[in-house]
Amino acid sequence: MLNFLRKKPLLKHFLYAVLFLFLLFLGLFKFLDHYTEHNRFLKVPNFKNLHINALDSIFKNYELRYEIIDSVFDKNRSKGIVVNQYPSFNTDVKRNRKVFLTINSVKNKIVKFPDIFDITLRQAVTYLKKNGFEIGKLQYKSDIAINKVLECKLNGIAVQVGQELQYGSIIDLIVAKGLSKETVLLPNLVGLSKLEANIILKSNSLNLGLLYYDDEVKDSSNAIIYSQYPKFSDEIEVNLGSSVDLFFRNEIID
C-alpha cells in the first residue's frame, strides 16, 4: 500500500487532505458541542414574588441573566416584586440565558383627579373607581340639585379637577340631597362684596347662585352687590340650601 502511494503522489496528497479535513471537522464539532453546551440544559427557577434587591445574587447562583422589561401597578401586591417572567418556570434553557421580568412598580402611581362635579353620585363613583380611587365618606348637603356631587375632599381638603393624587386615594364626597323643608330668613346682601356675601350665605345654609357683573367691572374682588334674587324682604323665607343670584357693579365712592 505504501509502495502504491509512493508511485501515486497526487493520490497520497489527496488522501492526506481528506484526513485533515475529517479531523478538522471532527474537532470543530467537538468545539461547538462544548461552546454551545449541546444537550446540557438548566431548569428555569420560579422568580415570581422575589424582590428585585435579591435578583442579582440569585441569578448569579443559577448562572442566568435577567432584564426587567416592564412594570405594573398592583396595590394589593408588595412593591418591587417579580409578577411575571419569560421563559416560564421549569423551562429548559442554556446556561447564561437571559430571563425577562415584569415587576410590580416600586413607586406609587400618580393619577389626575377627574371632573365628576355636577354628575350623579352613581356616575361619580363609577368614574372614580375606574381611575383608581376609593370612595370614603358620603356627606349630604342641602342643595337645589338631588344626588349630584357638589364637592370632593381628601383628608378634609378640597380636591380640584386635574390635581395629581396617589392611585388608591380615598375620596370623601359631598352630595346634594335636595332642598330641605326647613326655611331660613333671606339675608340682605346689597352693598356687600362677594366674599362677605358668601360668608353670610354659608352661615345661613344657603349657596351662591349665578353671579352677574356690569360691563364696567374690571376687578370682581372690588365689586359690590347692588341687587339680588330673590329680592330681600323682612318676611321672605327660603328653603335651606337655596341659591341666591347676585348682581355686581363697581363700588360707588362719594
Which of 1-5, 19-23, 34-38, 219-223 has the highest average model confidence (pLDDT)?
A: 219-223
pLDDT band of residue 186 (cuts 50, 70, 90) is very high
Predicted TM-score (pTM) of this structure:
0.49
79: which residues sit within 8 A by CB, 6+ positions away? 104, 105, 106, 107
The string of pLDDT tens digits covering residues 146-156 is 888 999 999 99
Question: Which tens digit of pLDDT belongs to each residue from 39-82?
Answer: 677 889 999 999 999 999 899 888 899 999 998 888 778 889 99
Chain mean pLDDT for the chain: 84
CATH architecture of 183-250: 2-Layer Sandwich (3.30)
Looking at residues 105-116, what average pLDDT do you find? 89
Domain residue limits, the chain: 2-36, 42-104, 113-177, 183-250
Phi/psi at 192 (5° precision): -100, 160
Collapsed DSSP state (helix, strand, coil) of residue 89: coil
- pLDDT tier at 208, thresholds 50, 70, 90: confident
Q: Identify the CATH class of 113-177.
A: alpha beta
CA atoms within 13 Å, Cβ hemisphere of 75: 10
Q: Which of 206, 205, 210, 204 is closest to 227 using CA atoms?
A: 210
Establish whether domains 42-104 and 113-177 are of one fold. Answer: yes
Q: Regarding the domain delimited by 42-104, which CATH topology (the fold level of the hierarchy) does it fall under?
A: Trypsin Inhibitor V; Chain A (3.30.10)
Residue 7 binned pLDDT confidence (cut-offs 50, 70, 90): low
CA dihedral sign of residues 244, 247, 250, 254 = negative
Q: Give 29's pLDDT tier (boundaries 50, 70, 90).
A: low
What is the grid cell recorded at 71?
Answer: 412594570
